[in-house]
Amino acid sequence: MPADRTPRRPDVTTTEIVGGAEAVHVELHDYDERWPTEFAEHRRRILEALAPSRLEVDVEHIGSTSVPGLAAKPIVDIVVAVPDITAEEDYLDPLLAAGYELRVREPGHRLVRTPERSVHVHVYEQGADAIDEYLLLRDHLRTDAADRELYASVKRDLLGRDWDDMNDYADAKTEVITAVKARARAARDAARESARED
């Protein structure tokens, strides 16, 4: 949030998962050229839904479907950065009216998704560290073939198992994601240092 603005109200302090845990089995799919198109369609839908609120928002394609050549579960992940996460009437109500369904409400984050569960929209406040982390991972995997293949192989192994909840699957990827992001930060920092020296 910009320094000159204060939240409209205190944020939530607990995690609410609407509908509770969901036992699902999702298979890994080869990269699908339709995923960027699906993102573009939902980006337009999101921006149209939020237009009456006159919010300045950023909408980015994140997750594995945003990385050309990377195998992924067929769920398009999108991140939306809003000025005030506590002002749900400005963004959550319009997104629900546009056909998305609330799945998660937790401190600093809301998740809505399509009824088919094929698109997940993560809403954060502008400047949230989570957004930078998503973009760091995405951009690194787009350019580093070795880490892209490593990540795909870990996902193949994990998605071969049954999970009581997709959150457990996401948690199981933490170790490899942490390692890849550490390499991504090192590469980014080296590039910045090199640019300063030039």
Of residues 29, 67, 68, 26, the one with CA closest to residue 158 = 26
> What pLDDT tens digit does each residue of the chain (198 aa) get?
444 567 788 898 989 898 887 766 668 899 999 999 999 999 999 999 999 999 999 999 999 999 999 999 899 999 999 999 999 999 999 999 999 999 999 999 999 999 999 999 999 999 999 999 999 999 999 999 999 999 999 988 887 777 777 778 788 889 999 999 999 999 999 888 888 887
The amino acid occupying position 160 is G
Of residues 119, 113, 81, 78, the one with CA closest to residue 96 = 113
| pLDDT at residue 177, rounded to an integer | 94
Q: Cα 185 from chain centroid?
A: 18
* CB within 8 Å of 137: residues ≥ 6 apart: 177, 180, 181, 184
Q: Left, alpha or beta for 83 (phi > 0: left; psi -120 to 50: alpha)?
A: alpha
Q: Is 120 exposed, middle or buried (0-12, 13-18, 19+ CB in 10 A)?
A: buried
| pLDDT at residue 115, rounded to an integer | 96
DSSP-derived secondary structure for the chain? --TT---SSPPP-S-EETT----B----B---THHHHHHHHHHHHHHHHHGGGT---EEEEESGGGSTT--B-S-EEEEEEES-TT-HHHHHHHHHHTT-EEEEEETTEEEEE-TTS-EEEEEEETT-HHHHHHHHHHHHHHH-HHHHHHHHHHHHHHHTS-BS-HHHHHHHTHHHHHHHHHHHHHHHHHHHHHHHH-
d(CA 12, CA 18): 14
